[in-house]
Amino acid sequence: IAKYPQVNCRIIIGEEVVGVNPKVNNLIRSYRAAVHDILWVIDSNVTVHSGTLARSVDALVGGSPPAASPKRIALVHHVPFAVITESRIGSRIEEAFLNTNHAKMYIAINTVALESCVMGKSNLYRRSDLERVNASLKPMAASGVQPGPCGLPVFGRYLAEDNMIASALWHELGDRHDLSCDIARNVVGNMTLWDYVWRRVRWIRVRKHMVLSATLLEPFTESVVLSIMCAASLQYLLGVQPWISICMHFTLWVYVDLDVYASLAGHPLPAAIRWQFMTAWAARELLALPIFLFAIFGSEVTWRGRRYRVLRNGEVARAEQSRSWFQRLRQPKNYDPINTEL
């Protein structure tokens, strides 16, 4: 603000409760006070390179859509790239996950663009568009008006409000998204191994109720499952020894993942962190299937010290106070549920 005194801006602190999602509650006052139509929603732990906003606005309003997809661009987003300041194992595994497997799939899905796939670390969209959607994901009627409440407040009942907003713009307005050339540098905090595991469990359970078919296919995009399938197939068809297939498979897999890292970072994996990174990468690959199998058979999640039950439509409701012995073991001692009913 001091650097650009001529710009009309101010800091708004405080929330307005419209649902269970604290991020949406925190955004509401700023959302309503915004002077201009284009909104840039960026997390507090995300940094970007100079010029990112200008390039993103140009992608949103300045560029012409390609001939293959003449649909209007309603949202611009950025690939998250993890930056760690802590050396704990959970932080390192999260870094390895975001900068290889997650980035690889995120870019691939958005390149194919058959369905909305957006992570809300850094998003640009128009408030006028958001005011026309109601999270039903049903195409807009000829009248151009969706029934019921519309706008940001209706997304406060979802944990994954970012994906729901993107999906609403995609399906209800019939628009598309654009993945910017810039990255969102996501600073990962102090995460233990359990923090990482429960974070993955939470989002798998949320995705299960939002995009079930895609979630069920996730194990078949993982290196361990594919290596077993590849080894069994090559042995049956060509008589190739499994150990040869597995070694070749993981060599190529590591090469692709490190190439994704280098493409996003702008440089190869630094030698100073090579072994720590690869150890975390191996742990991520080995943990992926066990975490998935545990997560897929449950619907309760813990988020910011609160327990919720994910409903079939992707919304969440406060979970009952009864807990299993395992949940009681993991529950923080200072657990203090708040009343989120409106």
Model confidence over 166-221: pLDDT tens digits? 999 999 999 999 999 999 999 998 999 999 999 999 999 999 998 889 999 999 99
User: Which pTM does this prediction carry?
Assistant: 0.88
What dihedral angle (degrees, nearest 10) is formed by the CA atoms of 254, 255, 261, 263? Answer: -160
Q: Residue 12: what pLDDT?
A: 92
Q: Residue 335: what pLDDT?
A: 46
Kindly state the average pLDDT of the residues 62-91. 83
Question: Any bridge partners for residue 186, and if so which?
Answer: 46, 82
CB 46 within 8 A of CB 83: no
Query: 48-62, 147-161, 321-335: which range is least confident on average?
Result: 321-335
In which band, very low, low, confident or very high, does the pLDDT at 240 lie, cut at 50, 70 and 90? very high
In the set 37, 43, 58, 162, the catalytic residue is: 162
Within 10 A of 267 (CB to CB), how many other CB atoms are there? 9
In which band, very low, low, confident or very high, does the pLDDT at 104 lie, cut at 50, 70 and 90? very high
Kindly state the average pLDDT of the residues 97-118. 95
Q: Residue 86: what pLDDT?
A: 82
In which band, very low, low, confident or very high, does the pLDDT at 337 lie, cut at 50, 70 and 90? very low
Kindly state the average pLDDT of the residues 314-337. 60
| Mean pLDDT, rounded, of the chain | 89
End-to-end, the C-alpha distance of the chain in Å comes to 35
Q: Residue 302: what pLDDT?
A: 84
Model confidence over 20-41: pLDDT tens digits? 898 999 999 999 999 999 999 9
Asked if 162 is an active-site residue, the reply is yes
Q: Residue 206: what pLDDT?
A: 92
Q: Which residue has the higher pLDDT, 52 or 145?
A: 52
Q: What percent of the chain has pLDDT over 90?
A: 73
Model confidence over 244-282: pLDDT tens digits? 999 999 999 999 999 999 999 999 999 999 999 999 999
Residue spans per domain, the chain: 22-330
In which band, very low, low, confident or very high, does the pLDDT at 98 lie, cut at 50, 70 and 90? very high
Kindly tell me if the per-residue pLDDT of 324 is higher than 80: no
Kindly state the average pLDDT of the residues 219-237. 96
